[in-house]
Amino acid sequence: MFDFFFSPWQASDPWAGLTAAALTAALLTLLAYRLAGNPERIRSARNHILAHLLEVRLYRREPRTVLKVQGLLLAHTMRYLLGSLPPLLLLAGPLGVLLVQLDLRFSRLPLVPGTAALVKVRLESGALPGSLDAALHAGPGLLVETPPLRIDSEAEIDWRIRAVEAGIRTVEIRIGSEVEVKSVAVGLSGIPALPAERGKDTWTNRLFLPGESKLPAGSRLRSIEVVYPERTWQVFGLRMSWLSPFLLLLLLFTLLLRIPWRIEL
């Protein structure tokens, strides 16, 4: 579904995809407020919050009044939060799923042919990497550059690989008799889904680590991770993660769209 959603923006600048996602999130937000919001309560609480903020300035010479007004300000902020709770709960699920999917696409860059990356295998607690037979076999388009680095204190084994040829590549990891596979994206353009980590089949991993099949329940491996380069976004000359521009766009769209739709936020 999300691949279909982002397919129109695969060929264009990543900002187009991020903007589309922010617009979708804004629509979801407004929909949640329309369905579950209490506009009267929200408007009243918001009016009081603004008024009390103004009062702090109006009565700055009256310390007792200012303290009283600050108390009222906190009380109405709580009222506002309570008034926003139903749409918030309604929104939490869909927006959470959307954000995980956005992180999958907007937080990392695929490996560029010629560059190196780490592959990290984390073992279940109690396992000692030094006592295990571990090997990594790179598929076509990848090279393994180092022998395994065993870190007993972290229950982790690392390898460095180098990307050679563009495409969805794989590495095969053998720990003792167990063999698992992890995909590695090399040289892909647009905003492909980049599952960095493959984890066990738990409900949190299903929610937060989408994109690849999960490790079997009895596996000695806790996760396999490919450390992709971070994708940074430039806003007014500042480099930042995708979340900041996304938030800004989401706020902007929500504020703009609430006016014609008359939705209290």
Partner 1 sequence: MLPGAWKRSAIRIRSSRLLAGVSLLGLWALGSPPAFGYIGPGAGFAVLTSVFGLLVSLLFSFLALLAWPFRALLLLLRGRKAYGRSAVQRVILVGLDGLDPDLAQRYMGEGKLPNLSRMSAEGGFAPLATTTPPVSPVAWSSLATGTEPAKHNIFDFLARDPKSYFPALSSVLLEGPEKWLPLGRFRVPLSRPRIRGMRRSVPFWKLLGEHGIHSTILRLPITFPPDPFDGHLLSGMCVPDLQGSQGSSFFYTSQEGPSHPRNGGTTIRVTVRGDLVETCLPGPGNDFLRGSPAVRLPMKIRMSADGSAAQLQIGNQQFELRTGIFSPWIRLRFPRPPGLAARGMARFLLRSRQPHFELYVTPIHLDPERPAMPISVPSYYSSCLARLIGPFATLGMANDTWALNEGILSEQEFLDQAYDFHREWERIFFLALDRVRRGVVACHFETPDAVQHMFFRHLPPGPAAGPGRPEVIEELYRRMDDLVGRLRQKQRPGDWILVLSDHGFKPFRRSVNLNAWLAAQGYLALRAGGPAKAEEWFAGVDWPKTKAYSLGLTGIFLNLRGREPMGAVEPGGEAVQLVREIAGRLEGLRDEERGGCPVVRRAIRREERTAGPYLENGPELIVGYNAGYRTSWESAKGIAARPILEENRRVWSGDHCIDPEEVPGVFFSSKPFDCAAPRIWDIAPTILQLFGIAPPGHMDGKPFPVEGDASGTAAAGAA
Nearer to partner 1 among residue 148 and residue 211 (C-beta): 211
Minimal distance in Å, beta carbon 207 to partner 1?
10
Nearer to partner 1 among residue 13 and residue 62 (C-beta): 62
- What crossing angle do the helices spanning 243-261 and 14-36 adopt, rounded to 10°? 50
Of positions 11, 54, 116, 128, contacts partner 1 by CB under 8 A: 54
252 binds partner 1 (CB under 8 A): yes
74 binds partner 1 (CB under 8 A): yes
Alpha helices (runs of H) in 161-215, residue ranges in sequence order: 203-208
Nearer to partner 1 among residue 100 and residue 181 (C-beta): 100
Over the window 4 to 43, marking each residue x when it contacts partner 1 by CB under 8 A and - when it does not, the resulting string is: ---------------------x---x---x----------
Stretch near partner 1 under the rule CB under 8 A, chosen from 8-16, 76-84, 146-154, 182-190? 76-84
Nearest 5°: phi and psi at 67? Answer: -65, -40
**Measured distance CA(47)–CA(39) in Å, rounded:** 12
Q: Which two tokens stand for residue 160?
A: 């460095």
Minimal distance in Å, beta carbon 210 to partner 1?
13
Overall residue count recorded for the chain in this entry = 265
254 binds partner 1 (CB under 8 A): yes
Residue 159 pairs in a beta bridge with 119
**Measured distance CA(140)–CA(114) in Å, rounded:** 14
110 binds partner 1 (CB under 8 A): no
Of positions 122, 138, 246, 263, contacts partner 1 by CB under 8 A: 246
Tell me which long-range contacts 180-186 makes (C-beta under 8 A, separation of at least 24): 180/215, 180/219, 180/221, 180/224, 182/119, 182/212, 182/224, 182/226, 183/212, 184/111, 184/117, 184/119, 184/142, 184/226, 185/110, 185/111, 185/228, 186/110, 186/111, 186/112, 186/113, 186/141, 186/142
101 binds partner 1 (CB under 8 A): no
**Measured distance CA(191)–CA(101) in Å, rounded:** 11
Of positions 8, 12, 13, 50, contacts partner 1 by CB under 8 A: 50
For partner 1, the binding residues (CB under 8 A) are: 25, 29, 33, 46-56, 58-59, 61-67, 69-70, 73-74, 77, 80-81, 84-85, 87-88, 91-92, 95-96, 99-100, 103, 106-107, 235, 238, 240-248, 250-252, 254-255, 265
